[in-house]
Chains A and B, each alone.
Chain A
Amino acid sequence: MQNNDLAADSPDSENDAPFLLIEPAKGWVSLKLGELWAYRELLYFLTWRDIKVRYKQTALGAAWAIIQPLFTMLVFSVFFGRLAGISSGDIPYPIFSFAALVPWTFFANGLSQSSSSLVGNSNLITKIYFPRLVIPISTVLAGVIDFALSFGVLLLMMGYYRIVPTMNVVWLPFFLLLALVTALGVGLWLSALNVQYRDVRYVVPFITQFWMLATPIAYPSTLLSEPWRTVYGINPMVGVIEGFRWALLGSQTKPGLMVLVSTAVSLLLLIGGAFYFKRMEKKFADIV
């Protein structure tokens, strides 16, 4: 729109070179998703970089992607499954918790890495222009590789316990996407805040810890009865975890309405985060 009124006072408006107007932004800015699309190759390369360098100069390499959820599962199985005797229905406790830990680990890593992503890439932000959204998005996307590795272990475990997924497994990509959107939504808020307040670095471990306790990973959400189970879906990760168990293990707890609540909250987080991020974006280079 601005381009048009400007073209009028510019004698060279007929040329087809891209025209760009730089001026102070006022009020709420648009998300400029078209521009984000134009920079998709950069998104690809940054994701690729994050994957490439993730386990450089580590002795165990990509094994870390598996070790983290695997050991948590062992600890949970011993303390919650055995000692506390938490019921996991007719599913063996180890796979009950591991099926939750795989998406959870993806979410928690995505959240914490994306929240520090802008500060970690400050050299890029202060030296070159591109839509800053590319940075947290690529960070979360890079975690999909880790997810794939630990998901492979999950499949092996299912083979061991002779669990055959039902047809509901076609919904699995949706639940993965829901976890990704939630991680990105929170990551956008935190990464933008982190540019201004480095406190975020210290807050993130708390957030993931509390959030984990508030998510049915070690216990089933059936501990709650309706309608509270649906309300529980306000935590989007509840929908993700219960969705994973339902799609993969055929647990009887059909997520239903709860997933809708989770999806709605997750989308709100993402849209709100994206607008907040865009609003703060113009200051990043000056204060990071």
Chain B
Amino acid sequence: MSKRVIFCEGLGKQFRIGKREINKTLRDVLADAMAAPLRALKTRFSANGFPGMQTETIWALKDVSFDIHDGEVIGIIGRNGAGKSTLLKILSRISEPTEGRIGIHGRVGSLLEVGTGFHPELTGRENIFLNGAILGMRRAEIIRKFDEIVEFAGIAKFLDTPVKFYSSGMYMRLAFAVAAHLEPEILIVDEVLSVGDAQFQKKCLGKMGEVAQSGRTVIFVSHNMAAVERLCSKVIVLENGQLVGNGQPRAMISNYLREGSGEIYVARSRTGHPQFLSAKICDVNGNPMAEPVCTEPFLVRLHFVLPEDAPGTRLGIGILSADGLPLFTSNTLDVDMEAPTKAGEYEADVLVPANCLLADTFHLAMCLWNDSEVLDLQEPAFSFSVDPGGSHLYQLDSQRKGFVHIDCGWQVRKLGTVRGASAG
């Protein structure tokens, strides 16, 4: 039996709700103290209370226990806010647990972001050393791997240029190259693969595969189900801060994707931030339905709220294949439409044309964002099946390849007769 390298027992992490308000000024605290001296005093001297704030708390993680053995590649999946990042932060010792404990045998390297600590004014060469040191490499180790890193990043020509003059692609390549040469016994990776272009992502995944095969223990969080299934030997599923699944990747992923579906998404709670409240599939008249039919157009009806004015808001959906591959996305910008920006509750209908999705299972993803941040991303929100419904597309073959149908034009011309063939 392989060695147990990580154990996690009854892990819990409590956050105060409204932690964005923490950077209060002393004036606020004083003003609060004037208004309600007793309450302010009480919170001030309560164990962890922040003065002048409600001490309402949420558990970002609760009662999470698992073991990880030597050489396992663990994927952590779950919806947004399920506690994946919090778990990684506790494993990386960035954040302290509120309860429970974790034991780790071996040197841990964590990669929660590509290019942590890169300084724009420093040159590529200087940043390799700085970033390497921040990631926990020894100076001698960096010197030894320096040429390899430069080659992997392919930036030899710009080594002595400040990185602020780099293109974003070069920047990402250099940052990833440094990180990829980290050789800890246990590697913790957050969704670093979701940035950069397709080629970059492919390179990252390739490197991850290499690391996984080298027998090191890897823990990684991803929304990319295909990658998780390919790379991981075990998958942990988190939901609402609790561990709801731990086992074989294929089973866990299909469970996870199926679970919480029911062709409808309902937000668990109102967070006070812009968010989706619900989403469902309807026919073109707006009547909810379970399974759209291939030959009929259908609506994706999104219900969302902007608690306050949110200028620059955009709204989009994406359709993912059963194993999590994005097939296409659509958003308000595509049709030059202004998404709502004033405070309020809204309903949006997205028309998916007929003969577009083939008969299969799909996942719906939806996103509210603006130029600077993602406001709410549900990926996947729920899954649904499309019924072939007597589509002519299935006349020949009930198992069509692919996921979507595109109406292509066809022309066939006769170029000549073939000798010897009987002229019918």
Contacts and interface: CB of A to CB of B under 8 A. Distances in A.
Interface in B95-127: 95-108, 110, 112-113, 116-117, 119, 121-122, 126
B31 interface: no
A282 interface: yes
B106 A21 contact: no
B348 to A, nearest CB: 34
Contacts of B7: 10
Interface in A24-71: 24-25, 41-42, 44-46, 48-49, 52-53, 56-57
Interface stretch (B20-28, B239-247, B385-393, B412-420): B20-28
Contact of A23 (B29, B101, B113, B133): B101
Given A49-B130, A199-B25, A282-B96, A22 B4 contact: no
A215 B197 CA distance: 58
A168 interface: no
Contacts of A46: 130, 133
B80 interface: no
Contact of B96 (A24, A42, A126, A196): A24
Contact of B4 (A10, A52, A283): A10
Nearest to A19: B105
A23 B134 contact: no
A57 B98 CA distance: 44
A18 B119 CA distance: 31
A67 B90 CA distance: 46
Contact of B117 (A10, A124, A198): A124
A161 interface: no
B112 A20 contact: no
Interface string A2-21: 00001000111001011111
Given A18-B107, A199-B25, A128 B134 contact: yes
A130 interface: yes
Contact of B116 (A56, A127, A198): A127
B26 A197 contact: yes
A173 B232 CA distance: 57
B105 A18 contact: yes
A129 B110 contact: yes
A17 B122 contact: no
A19 B104 contact: yes
Nearest to B185: A17
Interface residues of B, number: 51
A17 B70 CA distance: 12
A286 interface: yes
Interface string A191-204: 00000111100000
Contacts of A128: 92, 94, 110, 112, 116-117, 134-135
A168 to B, nearest CB: 38
A123 interface: yes
A84 interface: no
Given A17-B107, A128-B117, A41 B4 contact: no
A53 B24 contact: no
Given A49-B122, A124-B116, A22 B101 contact: yes
Given A12-B4, A42-B134, A49-B130, A23 B105 contact: no
A285 B112 CA distance: 13
Contacts of A18: 105-107
Interface in A65-91: none
B97 A23 contact: yes
B26 A199 contact: yes
Given A10-B103, A24-B98, A129 B126 contact: no
Q: Is the interface of A mostly helix, strand, loop or mixed?
A: mixed
A42 B133 contact: yes
Contacts of B112: 127-128
A287 interface: yes
Contact of A129 (B93, B107, B113): B93
Nearest to A43: B133
Contact of B3 (A12, A20, A126, A283): A12
Interface in A152-177: none
Interface string A98-126: 00000000000000000000000001111
Contact of B121 (A11, A53, A127, A285): A53
Nearest to B24: A197
B93 A22 contact: yes
A66 to B, nearest CB: 22
A21 B9 CA distance: 11
Interface in A125-154: 125-130
Nearest to B105: A17
Nearest to B29: A197
A21 B98 CA distance: 14
B104 A22 contact: yes
A17 B110 contact: no
B186 to A, nearest CB: 9
B266 to A, nearest CB: 29
Contacts of B19: 286-287
Contacts of B165: none
Contact of A57 (B91, B121, B122): B121
Nearest to B92: A129
Nearest to A25: B96
A52 B133 contact: no
A28 to B, nearest CB: 15
Interface in B44-100: 89-100
Nearest to A282: B96
B121 to A, nearest CB: 4
B167 to A, nearest CB: 20
Given A21-B102, A197-B25, 4 more contacts: A17-B106, A22-B96, A127-B94, A287-B23
19 contacts: A6-B103, A10-B103, A17-B106, A18-B106, A22-B91, A22-B96, A41-B133, A42-B134, A52-B126, A53-B121, A124-B116, A127-B113, A128-B94, A128-B117, A196-B22, A197-B24, A197-B26, A286-B15, A287-B23
Interface of A: 6, 10-12, 15, 17-25, 41-42, 44-46, 48-49, 52-53, 56-57, 123-130, 196-199, 282-283, 285-287
Lowest 9 CB-CB distances: which A-B pairs, in order? A23-B101, A45-B133, A129-B93, A282-B96, A22-B102, A199-B26, A17-B106, A56-B121, A12-B3
